[in-house]
Amino acid sequence: MNCFKRLGWNLFMGLCVLAVFATGAAANEVVIGFTGPLSGPAAQYGRDNVAGLEMAVRDINEAGGITINGEQYMFRLTTLDDHADPTAAVNNARRMRDRQGIKFIYNPVFTTIAPMMAINQQRGSEFMMMAYTSTPGVDEIDNDLTIAIPPPFSAYLQAYSEVAKEKGWQRGAMLVTLGAYGDDWRNAFRDYWRSIGGEIVADRPANYYAETDFSAHLASVLARNPDFILIGGPSDPTALVIEQARGMGFNGGFLIVDQAKLNYIEHQVFGGDLTLLENSVGVARTLNIGPYEVMEKFHNRYREEYNMESTSENVLNYSSVKMLARAMEYAQSIDDLKAIKAAFNEFLPMEPEENLIAYVGIDGSRLLIPASIQYIEDGQYADPVASVWWLKDEAEARHVIDEVIPQTGADYRHIPLEGYAK
C-alpha cells in the first residue's frame, strides 16, 4: 500500500515538474525574451543588447525581485538567435509567446521589429514588443503594445547636421546599411540635409549584416569627392568601412548612424586609437549620457564582467528592464500589458542610482530621453550635445533641462522634432 502511495506522490511531483517545463516559467517568475542577431556580422550588436538585459535581471533578483499582491517574483531572461531575419524573428516570437508564455519580447533591429509588431496584438497571444530601435517608423505603426527604448534617430540627424554645418561641410555622401532602418535613415537624412542647403553627391547602401569588404562601394562614393560620408550599421562592420575609407585616402568626416558606437569602435576595433575616427560624429559614449559617477561605475562593472566597452545598447536595455520591473509593481500585475505600459508615466523619472539615465516618461510607443551626440576633433572627444526633442514649448523644455534631467556636463539644447514635439 505504501508503495502505491509513494508511486502516486512521485507521479504527482513528476507531473508538476513537467507542467513547469511545458509553460517555460516557474511559479512567481517573470520571463522576458530576446530575439535578435547573435551570430554573423551583427552578432556583437545583438550580444551588447543581451548584456544589458542580463545585468538588469541579475540586479533585480539580487535586490529580492518584485512584489505583486504580496507575492515575490524573480526575473529570468531567455534568448534566441534570428540572424536579423524577419521570418526567423516572427517564428521566435511565436515560440516564446505560445510555448513559454513570455509576454515581454525584446528585439534590436527594425527590419525584424516591424513584422513582430504585426503579430504582437493578436487576441490570446499578446506580448509587449520591447523595441530597441530609433527608427521613427515604429511610432507611425498603430500598436498599443510597443515600447520603443532609444530616442528617434531624427533627433540625432538634426544634431549631426548642425555639427556638419559648423564644420563647413557641404557635399555629403551616404553608405548606410540596407534594410528598413538604414533606408529610413538615408531618406530622412537626405531630405533634411537638402532642406538646410546641403548636397548629397552619392548614395550607395550596403549590407552591413553580410558583407565583409566595402571597398567597391567606397570607390564609387569617393569618386564623388564628398566632404563627409554618412555611414553605419552594427559597430564592427562600420569600423571596417572607416578603416577601408581611410586606407583609400579619404580624410573627410564621418557621420555615424546611431546603431554604431564611437567608443566601441575606438576600443574594441582600433585598440584605443582615435586617429581613424578624426572628424567623426556619433552617439555620445556611455560615460557622457548620464551623471558621470553613476555611468563610470556601470562602465567599470561592464568592463569587468564582459571585458568590453559599454555602449548605449547595454545602458538603455538595462534601464528598460529596471523600468519594466517598477511598472509591474505600480500596476500590481505581471501580465496586464496595457496597465504596465501606462504605469511608466506614474514613476518616471527615476533616480540615476536606480536607473542610470534620465528617462522622463513615455508618449505613445516612444520612451522620452534626451538624444546625446559627440564628435571627435584633434584626437579627443568634444563635449557632448544633448537635445530635448519631445517638447514644443521653449519654457517647458528649459524647465525639463534645468529641473528634471540630471546634469551630465552636456550642452543641452531644445530641438523640437516635427511629428513628436507637443
Q: Where are the domains of the chain?
A: 8-151+295-368, 153-289
Tell me the per-residue pLDDT of 256-304, one tens digit each, with 9 for 90 and over. 999 999 999 999 999 999 999 999 999 999 888 888 889 999 999 999 9
Q: Cα torsion at 318, 320, 325, 329 (round to 10°)?
A: 150
What are the pLDDT digits (tens) for 296-352? 999 999 999 999 989 999 999 999 999 999 999 999 999 999 999 999 999 999 988
Region of residue 301 (phi > 0: left; psi between -120 and 50: alpha; otherwise: beta): alpha
Nearest to 239 by CA among 207, 211, 264: 264
H helices present in 285-418, as ranges: 292-306, 312-331, 337-347, 352-355, 394-399
Which top CATH class is 153-289? Answer: alpha beta
How does residue 353 score in pLDDT terms, banded at 50, 70 and 90?
A: confident
Q: What does DSSP say about strands 146-148 and 280-283: parallel, antiparallel, or unpaired?
A: unpaired
pLDDT > 50? residue 16: no
The answer to whether the CB of 285 falls within 8 A of the CB of 262 is: yes
Model confidence pLDDT, tens digit, residues 83-123: 999 999 999 999 999 999 999 999 999 999 999 999 999 99
Nearest to 118 by CA among 149, 148, 142, 97: 142
Cα 232 → chain centroid: 15
* pTM given for the model: 0.87
- The whole-chain average pLDDT of the chain stands at 91
Amino acid at 115: P
Asked if the model's pLDDT at residue 17 lies above 90, the reply is no
Q: Do 153-289 and 8-151+295-368 fall under one CATH topology?
A: yes
Nearest 5°: phi and psi at 123? Answer: -55, 125
Domain 8-151+295-368 in CATH 3.40.50.620: no
